[in-house]
Chain A
Amino acid sequence: MKLTNRSRKTDKSPMTIAERLYLPAIASGLGTTIKHFFQKKPTIQYPEQKREFSPVFRGLHVLKRDEQGRERCTACGLCAVACPAEAITMIAGEREPGQEHLYREEKYAEVYEINMLRCIFCGLCEEACPKAAIFLQPDKIAPAFYERDEVIFGKDRLVEKMDDRASVGIEKYTGVKS
């Protein structure tokens, strides 16, 4: 039964002498190879060279700090309930007197974990966050991992470093840094 018009009948007739010599075929094959030396290369040298990101790219998560370096996250759980992959878990803690410079609100995330194997980088956590605390960075790719125990990212890998601030923050939505 013929399903499409694209099928061709295979030519099974014996090869001619010119074909059996193989040399013309080798020459034409090499020609194809040499032609590519002079063409523009589609690949780049990745770690040294990087491609431009799309403006809507969603990469590795960051837990933001505010201007004074206090953690913005208050462990409200809205990211975790919005997450379609159920990748986020957290345990809340109560801020003690004297910790006001560490945490912005009276409650904070003692443990905040994202399972990077589960995460699908949809950005719904960022959308759900009422405190502008979690963002998917537009310029950082989630690193590859080689072991199972590297897969769950905790606060040590997610919270923004004060000397290496993320390029994204509340200004993405309000236009003002605060």
Chain B
Amino acid sequence: MADEKLMFKVTVDNIEVEVEPGTTILQAARKIGGDVAPPAMCYYSTLKGTGGKCRACLVKVAAGSAKDPRPMPKLVASCITPVQDGMIVQNTTNPEVLETRKAVVEFLLINHPLDCPVCDQAGECSLQDFAYEHGAVSTRYEEERRTFDKVDLGPYVQLHMTRCILCYRCVYTADQLTNKRVHGVLGRGDAAEIGTYIKNSLDNDFSGNVIDVCPVGALTDKTFRFKSRVWFTKPVDAHRDCDKCCGKVVLWYKGDDVLRVTTRRNEWNEVMEYICNTCRFEKKKTSDWVIEGPRSIDPRSVISQNHYKKKVVPDYIHRVAAAYKPIDEAPRQLPEGQKPVGLDMRTEPK
């Protein structure tokens, strides 16, 4: 019985799933997928140590485990809480969770400038999605918001500290992808901010990935700044042979021009394979790439707006169409004494 792995049974929103011990509630919920998965603003599955900061993924644990079925006293952050056998989790089924999430949105937006019409991230911003799905319609905040000037972190990356929600993802990216991190979070509490302390530039070959991991528009691509709104561009999967990275990217076209190059993200908006700065910033010609085909975008996303796709006709339609004609054109066989209904000229007596 040594081969058989010990599996934990967890119930999230009345759906049961079996996961390995050590899995977090968030990962278990993502295994079910769909709306059951709590939103995550700071947790990033491909970066170690992320999670537990934004509180967006708070869930109710109605029963701790099969052995000790008492509920957990407070809502727990699902991205850093490991599951236990027989745990019952409530996410969207618990009104307390939904109410708390509304408050989390409000907290995250306290210092957010709400400059979405200007921000390049609009349309693919996790905070926008999160606030749209879970937040209140209007703001109650009347006080002054903290403001910062925008900072150039090297030639490619621009920092808009006003938009930052301090998720620490970019810090972990720099730690785990590059050998020398030059930026970090300075200050504490309300004064915390992302910075390089003394004006420093991100010049590592993988520094461009902080743009993709940033859930908001705090770290943006300088080469794409104000070029176009994301929903006017067309994403296309492409790859090239790169000696530094995997070379698998998404090209964002407007007309024949590649406006920007990004990594490919999975359904949870997480980068699976990071790319180097050469691919991201310096290869902006179609001839540099091998095109794989248009990237499929969630039809609920604004990026898919006005992008017309040829409607896929299911196979059986052709079979039905082929079978329909002969039946239709054959003289109709009516039971004795019954007259045809409607203006059917073919069956009307001459």
Contact = CB atoms under 8 A, between A and B. Distances in A.
Interface of A: 74-78, 80-81, 86, 92-94, 105-107, 130-131
B305 A130 contact: no
B53 interface: no
A107 B226 contact: yes
Interface string B220-232: 0000011111011
Contacts, number: 37
A128 B297 CA distance: 23
Given A76-B116, A92-B226, 18 more contacts: A74-B117, A74-B118, A75-B226, A76-B118, A76-B122, A77-B229, A77-B231, A77-B232, A81-B231, A86-B306, A92-B227, A92-B228, A94-B225, A105-B117, A105-B118, A107-B117, A107-B118, A131-B117
Nearest to A84: B306
17 contacts: A74-B117, A74-B118, A75-B226, A76-B116, A76-B117, A76-B118, A77-B232, A81-B229, A81-B232, A81-B306, A94-B225, A94-B226, A105-B115, A106-B118, A107-B117, A130-B116, A131-B117
A131 to B, nearest CB: 6
A80 B226 contact: no
B302 interface: yes
Contacts of A92: 226-228
Chain B interface main SS type? loop
B225 A130 contact: no
Contacts of A81: 229, 231-232, 302, 305-306
A46 to B, nearest CB: 38
Interface in B185-241: 225-229, 231-232
Nearest to A1: B343
Nearest to A92: B226
Interface in B239-298: none
A76 B120 CA distance: 9
A173 to B, nearest CB: 14
A177 B115 CA distance: 21
A76 B231 CA distance: 11
Interface string B8-41: 0000000000000000000000000000000000
Contacts of A76: 116-118, 122, 229
Contacts of A78: 117
A93 B117 contact: no
Contacts of A107: 117-118, 226
Nearest to B118: A107
Nearest to B227: A92
Nearest to A130: B117
Interface string B92-124: 000000000000000000000001111000100
A149 B134 CA distance: 47
Closest 9 pairs (CB-CB, A-B): A76-B117, A77-B229, A92-B226, A107-B118, A74-B117, A81-B305, A130-B117, A94-B226, A107-B226
A14 B118 CA distance: 82
Contacts of B226: 75, 92-94, 107
A77 B229 CA distance: 7
A85 to B, nearest CB: 11
Nearest to A105: B118
Contacts of B229: 76-77, 81
Interface in B60-117: 115-117
Nearest to B229: A77
A31 to B, nearest CB: 46
A80 B117 contact: no
A105 B227 CA distance: 16
A165 to B, nearest CB: 23
A161 to B, nearest CB: 24
A158 to B, nearest CB: 18
Nearest to B305: A81
Contacts of A131: 117
